Amino acid sequence: MTITVAIDCMGGDHGPAVTVPAALAFVRANADARVVLVGPEETLRSCLGGAVHERVTLRHATQVVGMDEPPSLALRSKKDSSMRVAIDLVRQGEADACVSAGNTGALMAISRFVLKMLPGIDRPAICAALPTMTGHTHVLDLGANVDCSPEHLLQFGLMGASLVSAIEHHERPTVGILNIGEEEIKGNDVVKRAAELLRDSGLNFIGNVEGDGLYKGDAEVVVCDGFVGNVALKSSEGLAQMLGAFLREEFGRSTLSRIAALLAMPVLKRFKNRLDHRRYNGACLLGLKGIVVKSHGSADVFGYGFAISRAADAARTGVLARISERVAQLHPQLETA
Amino acid sequence: MTITVAIDCMGGDHGPAVTVPAALAFVRANADARVVLVGPEETLRSCLGGAVHERVTLRHATQVVGMDEPPSLALRSKKDSSMRVAIDLVRQGEADACVSAGNTGALMAISRFVLKMLPGIDRPAICAALPTMTGHTHVLDLGANVDCSPEHLLQFGLMGASLVSAIEHHERPTVGILNIGEEEIKGNDVVKRAAELLRDSGLNFIGNVEGDGLYKGDAEVVVCDGFVGNVALKSSEGLAQMLGAFLREEFGRSTLSRIAALLAMPVLKRFKNRLDHRRYNGACLLGLKGIVVKSHGSADVFGYGFAISRAADAARTGVLARISERVAQLHPQLETA
């Protein structure tokens, strides 16, 4: 089976300077894969610089969705944008998945409009993996939905568990719900009700996970409201950046500490590699009738390659069919309030 | 002016083994301060081990609030607990502030019952400082309130700004609201409405702060719902622990890396000190007619000392009067829905 991934080459902070070389490297490393590069043909050709590959094709698109463009405008007026054409390829069955580092809101809106939702799922959710003490955990939603009902959180649990069981070949991954542990309160009513639904869902539900539990690896899948998930993800990014900056500052403070840094370099490099956020690049937009992966806008070639791999893996392992199956099993519980 | 701090000596994971030595060290270092140690007199005496100090007095209390005890039960049945008696001392004017490392829910419930709320404030909020790239930022609420109205978030802004202006002698600290930046959404309705209220409040409001902005130091005060604040705080704690564990693992991996660790020790120590969470111990329960500071349950003597200092600072600088003043200025806007 050959997997075809459509690449929105114009999305992201660096556009084709990153997306084209990443796509080339990806097909070279994956003999079962093809890519379709989407964007203005001349731009793509100049980025390829004469490189040709039988599993790389180009698809011309004249427009580009701006990083700050309102999603509704992008949806209405950018019907020939690289983003839209890449998503169209998925709908038409010409690609098995698409990847974009562009405007998240526009990607969500256009994907939803073009691909539609899977039956039984109300809203798409953004799902990504985070590193933990023991491996990694998949968290959703990371920002697509700011007001979730208990039924939405249940749907997130089904989708996240389907994704993990598909790509990690682990049939019953543990699922937790992000909550707070203050004695008096233990979460709001939505979270309490969602926990009840998850408990009755047949998933391997382990109950509440607190913020620090995300990194302890308490559960393989953690569900939360997109507002909370986004704040947890971004505050973690901010903290990691701050710690990195402090570490560099302290190692640069004196001649002696610079010598220590030199000696500690292999160790610090291993430490850095282990946490390299580029290896975690690529968030799945789950719940659509098609595979859409969002890369970080600032991703480099190395990081963008991980997003393409994630899209190909989701297609290879049949994530959509697994989500549909689980949803069908649980249909009565999924009706939203 | 002498400041008197009542100490709930029985609260926390270590009880009087931590609280009593920390209180002694505190009075020794602060010539203007007195402490009242609250707990079973015999226990306190044995922890003092013969140490006497003219500015240390004991107050007998026969009961202890358990760390997992339901707050409503603690409120009803533990009227002679060290926690309750310490708070009573504040109400009676015998202490200017109190500190506890005990059960957060019980501390909130008893404080609210005994001390009552300041006029114009509906709910207490938990406020603590976090380290940032440029200094530190005060965040509230960190877990007392899981469902906040826009008016509550406005009240948090007023209280946070009053606290910072008092203890840091900075009249108009910047205030931001925690939000998410996804293009389509930009936060839920409560956050949007709260931002409008804050913009019209006369505070130095700078608008939205995203998760990573917490650590960039985008604002000196950041307001948020207690659910989101608690998740952000705890996920940061979890991440910091994981990074510390990874760093130790990498430095311990081989003889060579252990030698590097030895040479890098002074640098790593400076790095660790800079982030030492114990220096940030002590969260204020704001909005009450009295100063109550919550220490982390696992705090050691060094960390607990910071919580006592925080309580004393809040009393010295007249935080309560400042909050009341600001509230009076804004009274019409503070009426809750």
Binary contact (A260, B261; C-beta < 8 A) = no
Average the pLDDT over B257-275 and give the result: 83
Cβ contacts of A210 on chain B, cutoff 8 Å = 231, 234
Average the pLDDT over A45-51 and give the result: 88
- Confidence band of B334 (pLDDT split at 50, 70, 90): low
Cβ contacts of A271 on chain B, cutoff 8 Å = 246-247, 250
CA distance B251 to B271: 15
Binary contact (A211, B237; C-beta < 8 A) = yes
Query: What is the DSSP track for A3-28?
Result: EEEEEETT-SSSTHHHHHHHHHHHHH
Cβ contacts of B251 on chain A, cutoff 8 Å = 264, 267
- Confidence band of B331 (pLDDT split at 50, 70, 90): low
Are A1-121+287-318 and A123-285 the same fold in CATH?
Answer: yes
Cβ contacts of A236 on chain B, cutoff 8 Å = 211, 235-236, 239
* Domain residue spans of chain B: 1-121+287-337, 123-283
The minimum CA-CA distance between B67 and chain A, rounded to whole Å, is: 9
Average the pLDDT over B172-188 and give the result: 78
Q: A33 in the Ramachandran plot: left (φ > 0), alpha (ψ -120 to 50) or beta?
A: beta
Average pLDDT, chain A: 91
pLDDT given for residue B273 in this prediction:
83
Binary contact (A104, B187; C-beta < 8 A) = no
The minimum CA-CA distance between B91 and chain A, rounded to whole Å, is: 23
- Interface residue of A250, A258, A268 to substitute, partner B, most B CBs within 10 Å: A250
Average the pLDDT over A272-284 and give the result: 87
> Is cis: bond before B141, omega within 30 of 0?
yes
Binary contact (A70, B183; C-beta < 8 A) = yes
Q: What are phi and psi of A32, to 5 degrees?
A: -95, 10
Closest residue of chain B to A68, computed from CA coordinates: B183
- Confidence band of A334 (pLDDT split at 50, 70, 90): low
Average the pLDDT over A51-72 and give the result: 92
Cβ contacts of B185 on chain A, cutoff 8 Å = 105, 143-144, 146, 226
pLDDT given for residue A38 in this prediction:
98
Binary contact (A263, B264; C-beta < 8 A) = yes
Closest residue of chain A to B188, computed from CA coordinates: A146
**Does the structure show a pLDDT above 80 at B183?**
no
The tens digit of pLDDT for each residue in B31-81 reads 999 999 999 999 999 999 888 889 999 999 999 999 989 999 999 999 999
Q: What's domain A1-121+287-318's architecture?
A: 3-Layer(aba) Sandwich (3.40)
Q: What's domain A123-285's architecture?
A: 3-Layer(aba) Sandwich (3.40)
- Helix, strand, coil percentages for chain A (3-state, nearest 5): 50, 20, 35
**Does the structure show a pLDDT above 60 at B263?**
yes
CA-closest candidate to residue A196, choices A153, A143, A258: A153
**Does the structure show a pLDDT above 50 at A337?**
no
Cβ contacts of A298 on chain B, cutoff 8 Å = none
Closest residue of chain A to B136, computed from CA coordinates: A242
Domain B123-283: top CATH class? alpha beta
CA distance B25 to A206: 44
Q: Which residues contact B316 (CB under 8 A, 6 or more apart)?
A: B1, B3, B32
- The domain B1-121+287-337 is classified under which CATH number: 3.40.50.970, 1.20.210.10, 3.40.718.10, 3.90.1150.10? 3.40.718.10
The tens digit of pLDDT for each residue in A280-306 reads 899 999 999 999 999 999 999 999 999
The tens digit of pLDDT for each residue in B288-308 reads 999 999 999 999 999 999 999
Q: Which residue has the tokens 């409201």?
A: A225
The tens digit of pLDDT for each residue in A180-205 reads 975 445 568 899 999 999 999 999 99
Average the pLDDT over B309-334 and give the result: 86
The tens digit of pLDDT for each residue in B222-237 reads 999 999 999 999 999 9
Cβ contacts of B274 on chain A, cutoff 8 Å = 246, 250
Neighbour-count burial of A38, counting CB atoms closer than 10 A to its CB (0-12 exposed, 13-18 middle, 19+ buried): buried
Binary contact (B241, A212; C-beta < 8 A) = yes
Contact A53, A30 (CB under 8 A): no
Closest residue of chain B to A264, computed from CA coordinates: B260
How large is the ipTM? 0.88
Contact B127, B138 (CB under 8 A): yes
The tens digit of pLDDT for each residue in A201-234 reads 999 999 999 999 999 999 999 999 999 999 999 9
Cβ contacts of A237 on chain B, cutoff 8 Å = 211-212
The minimum CA-CA distance between A258 and chain B, rounded to whole Å, is: 9
CA-closest candidate to residue B78, choices B101, B100, B102, B62: B62
Neighbour-count burial of A337, counting CB atoms closer than 10 A to its CB (0-12 exposed, 13-18 middle, 19+ buried): exposed
Enumerate the β-bridge partners of residue A5.
Answer: A35, A97
CA distance B128 to B281: 8
Closest residue of chain B to A225, computed from CA coordinates: B228
